[in-house]
């Protein structure tokens, strides 16, 4: 057995013991295989190289980074989870993002390296990112490096399909764009104000078509899925409006708030 293989196997065993915190993927409990770890680390390395090249070319220090943690093709969605990646003074890129403790109705914010971000049993070995416009780079970078402001709009009550304009819960992608609103608009200090800014800027959520049986099964079987924050007229007509990576990418492109999405796949 080669030294590299031994290291990968050792890392797999260690990760099996780590508490599970996920977003944008299944909560099925299973250990990461050496192959999954090799692929995740390779994707992280190539993403880091691409982001370093972008930094050298444009000076960008912040990107909105996405991964494909689960198969959402039946909803016409390609990616599942967003995080804010920023370049540290030491050189490596770090990611600030919200993760759900599987089996619970709570979420927390985590600062991780790119390796940790992609070591999550991905559905597809692919990264996607957008570079915020130059005018947004400084404000977003400053917020991400401010331990107080970066958590100001975080709501621990987690709901995988939280209502886009609701305040009772907050899912990972919702936190990401509400935090963007706070960084961009100095007057934003609450989630309600952040959502008002998003409406003003024309953000439109994805509408998932979930029938009554699907909703009932999801609510009965998982703690991190709820529908009681959605308006009755939408919920009972099977229209679940929530924040998705795809809708955020479309909005940022349409509004000129970021460059066109870039992708990298193994």
Mean pLDDT of 217-241: 81
Query: Total domain count for the chain?
Result: 1
- Give the pLDDT confidence score for residue 255 in this predicted structure: 96
Strands (E), the chain: 21-22, 62-68, 81-87, 93-101, 107-113, 124-130, 206-209, 239-242, 262-265
pLDDT digits (tens, 9 = 90+) for 98-137: 999 877 899 999 999 999 999 877 999 999 999 999 999 9
- Give the pLDDT confidence score for residue 143 in this predicted structure: 98
- Give the pLDDT confidence score for residue 102 in this predicted structure: 74
- With tokens 């444009």, the residue in question is 58
Q: Quick one: pLDDT band at residue 263, thresholds 50, 70, 90?
A: very high
Beta-bridge mates of residue 266: none
- Give the pLDDT confidence score for residue 23 in this predicted structure: 55
When mean pLDDT is compared across 42-51, 52-61, 180-189, 213-222, the lowest value belongs to: 213-222
Q: Quick one: pLDDT band at residue 12, thresholds 50, 70, 90?
A: very low
Return the closest-CA partner of residue 126 out of 8, 21, 60, 40: 40
In this model, does residue 2 exceed pLDDT 80?
Answer: no
Return the closest-CA partner of residue 25 out of 139, 102, 125, 137: 102
Beta-bridge mates of residue 107: 100
pLDDT digits (tens, 9 = 90+) for 134-181: 999 999 999 999 999 999 999 999 999 999 999 999 999 999 999 999
- Give the pLDDT confidence score for residue 126 in this predicted structure: 97
Strands 124-130 and 206-209: unpaired
Mean pLDDT of 204-210: 92
In this model, does residue 208 exceed pLDDT 50?
Answer: yes
The DSSP result for 221-235, as a single string, is: H-TT---TTS-HHHH
Q: Report the 10 Å Cβ neighbour count for 183.
A: 24
Cα atoms found within 13 Å of the Cα of residue 81, Cβ hemisphere only: 29
Which tokens sit at 152? 């100001």
Q: Is the pTM of this model over 0.85?
A: yes
In this model, does residue 17 exceed pLDDT 70?
Answer: no
When mean pLDDT is compared across 18-22, 88-92, 227-231, the lowest value belongs to: 18-22
Cα distance between residue 221 and residue 218, in whole Å:
5
83 is in which domain, residue-wise? 3-265
């Amino acid at each position: 057995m080669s030294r590299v293989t031994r290291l990968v196997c050792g890392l797999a065993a260690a990760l099996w013991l780590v508490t599970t915190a996920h977003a944008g993927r299944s909560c099925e409990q299973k250990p990461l295989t050496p192959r999954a770890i090799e692929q995740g680390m390779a994707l992280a390395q190539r993403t880091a190289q691409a982001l370093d090249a972008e930094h050298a070319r444009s000076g960008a220090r912040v990107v909105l980074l996405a991964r494909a943690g689960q198969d959402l093709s039946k909803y016409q969605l390609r990616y599942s989870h967003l995080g804010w990646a920023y370049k540290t003074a030491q050189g490596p890129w770090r990611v600030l993002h919200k993760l759900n403790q599987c089996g619970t109705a709570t979420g927390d914010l985590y600062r991780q390296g790119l390796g940790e971000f992609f070591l999550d049993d991905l559905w597809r070995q692919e990264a996607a990112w957008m570079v915020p416009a130059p005018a947004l780079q400084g404000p977003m970078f400053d917020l991400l490096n401010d331990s107080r402001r970066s958590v100001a709009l975080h709501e621990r009550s987690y709901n995988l399909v939280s209502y886009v304009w609701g305040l009772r819960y907050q899912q990972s992608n919702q936190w990401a764009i509400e935090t963007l609103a706070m960084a961009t608009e100095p007057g934003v200090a609450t989630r309600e104000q952040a959502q008002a800014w998003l409406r003003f800027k024309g953000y439109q959520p994805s509408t998932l078509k979930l029938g009554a049986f699907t909703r009932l099964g999801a609510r009965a079987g998982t703690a991190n899925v709820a529908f009681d924050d959605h308006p009755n007229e939408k919920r009972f007509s099977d229209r679940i409006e929530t924040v998705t990576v795809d809708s955020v990418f479309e909005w940022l492109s349409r509004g000129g708030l970021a460059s066109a999405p870039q992708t990298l796949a193994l």
